[in-house]
């Protein structure tokens, strides 16, 4: 297949965080030191060459950027300081941005001032709306009814969730079409690939394989695999707990839902531990894979950390049943930030939750196609 060369693409990729990959002379050192590079996935070397050529179509459909876990060893050993690890991260942002149907994702990743203004504006809009609705009829024992009604949070949350579903559906249709995964399903073993993917998502084995081949032993509190597992499963646990709360409180009239409380507490602790460790790695003890933090990456970590802390704050308040204007404003901040995170899910780093598993599935099908299944 012929590649359409576009010399203007490289500066655009650099706006997403890529280093100067024009300095790369394709020595292959990055591929040689990468613990996860193998037959059919010789990254980051192949991806760098595609970027130098400006092969936009190939870069948008490639699974290789999602096979990388940013250990940074390729950047450490690059003789030209081309920062291959940062380049692979920029390709993930590039793909996410070009899957966003609103077009805002491109500005979100490339223009930090735009991302900051949008983020602050959404918090203000959501907060103002919630304050405008007072008096909870569905939940009379709602502690925060003096400043915001339970229904306001519920209804806005449902609307935001519906918008997210529509946007993600549009993005997913584009992803399926662009990735070329459908032809790979014919004559392969998609069930086996799905089972492999499920195991990978639960254990992040490939991430562990990457660390196992690292030259330096990694302490548990800095283990990127454990950090990612904590963040991912903590977030999933909180999503389940929130859904149960909405279901039992709004539709069934419960005042306390203990299964949701327990799941939420465990999920919140896991996410708080994971996010705190991720922030510590980037701020206090940066290494090859974490020494460059883009605003969009820091935004996600900051939001998740604040949501975890304010969530526990509100859990204590509800448990001991104490009213105070400070607690009311903590609730508004928590709810507004949560709704913003949900609304912007598909155009931020949170989209990794969907796109990485999908691309891992594509990779597994490709490997099966060449007899490695």
Same-domain check for residues 89 and 132: no
- Check pLDDT > 90 for residue 61: yes
Same-domain check for residues 73 and 139: no
The CATH number covering residue 312 comes to 1.20.950
The CATH number covering residue 90 comes to 1.10.1060.10
Max mean pLDDT range (45-49, 162-166, 224-228): 162-166
- Residue 38 DSSP code: B
Same-domain check for residues 326 and 270: yes
Which of 185-189, 216-220, 283-287 comes out lowest in average pLDDT? 216-220
- Check pLDDT > 70 for residue 212: no
CA distance 99 to 178: 9
Give the pLDDT score at 134. Answer: 67
Mean pLDDT, all residues of the chain: 87
Same-domain check for residues 325 and 284: yes
Domain count across the chain: 2
Asked whether residue 114 is assigned to any structural domain, the reply reads no
- Check pLDDT > 80 for residue 333: yes
Same-domain check for residues 203 and 323: yes
Alpha-carbon distance values, 185 to 39, 89, 200, 301 (Å)? 20, 28, 19, 36
Domain ends where: 77, 97, 117?
97
Model confidence band, residue 372 (pLDDT cutoffs 50, 70, 90): very low
What tens digit of pLDDT does each residue of 83-119 get?
999 999 999 999 999 999 999 999 999 999 999 999 9
Domain that holds residue 31: 9-97
CA distance 26 to 22: 10
């Amino acid at each position: 297949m012929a590649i359409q060369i576009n010399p203007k693409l490289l500066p655009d990729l650099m706006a997403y965080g890529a280093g100067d990959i024009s300095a790369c002379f394709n020595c292959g050192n990055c591929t040689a030191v990468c613990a996860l590079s193998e037959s059919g996935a010789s990254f980051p070397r192949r991806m760098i060459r595609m970027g130098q050529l400006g092969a936009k179509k190939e870069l948008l459909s490639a699974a290789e950027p999602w096979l990388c876990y940013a250990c940074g060893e390729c950047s450490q050993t690059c003789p030209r300081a081309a920062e291959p690890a940062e380049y692979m991260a920029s390709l993930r942002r590039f793909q996410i941005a070009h899957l966003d149907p609103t077009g805002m994702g491109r500005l979100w990743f490339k223009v930090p001032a735009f991302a900051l203004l949008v983020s602050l504006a959404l918090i203000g809009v959501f907060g103002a709306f919630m304050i405008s609705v007072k008096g909870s009829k569905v939940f009379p024992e709602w502690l925060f009814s003096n400043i915001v009604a339970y229904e306001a949070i519920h209804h806005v949350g449902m609307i935001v969730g519906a918008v997210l579903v529509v946007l993600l559906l549009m993005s997913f249709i584009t992803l399926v079409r662009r990735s070329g995964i459908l032809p790979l399903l014919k004559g392969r073993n998609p069930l086996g690939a799905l089972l492999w993917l499920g195991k990978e998502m639960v254990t992040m084995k490939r991430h562990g394989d990457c660390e196992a081949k690292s030259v330096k032993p990694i302490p548990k509190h800095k283990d990127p695999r454990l950090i990612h597992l904590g963040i991912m499963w903590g977030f999933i646990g909180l999503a389940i707990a929130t859904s149960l709360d909405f279901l039992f409180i709004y539709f069934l009239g419960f005042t306390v839902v203990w299964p949701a409380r327990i799941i939420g507490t465990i999920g919140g602790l896991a996410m708080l531990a994971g996010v705190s460790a991720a922030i510590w790695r980037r701020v206090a003890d940066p290494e090859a894979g974490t020494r460059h933090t883009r605003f969009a990456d820091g935004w996600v970590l900051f939001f998740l950390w604040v949501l975890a802390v304010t969530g526990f704050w509100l859990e204590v308040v509800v448990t001991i049943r104490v009213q105070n204007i400070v607690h009311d404003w903590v609730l508004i901040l928590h709810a507004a930030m949560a709704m913003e995170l949900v609304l912007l899910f598909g155009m931020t780093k949170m989209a990794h939750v969907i796109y990485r598993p999908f691309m891992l599935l594509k990779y597994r099908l490709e490997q099966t196609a060449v007899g490695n299944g």
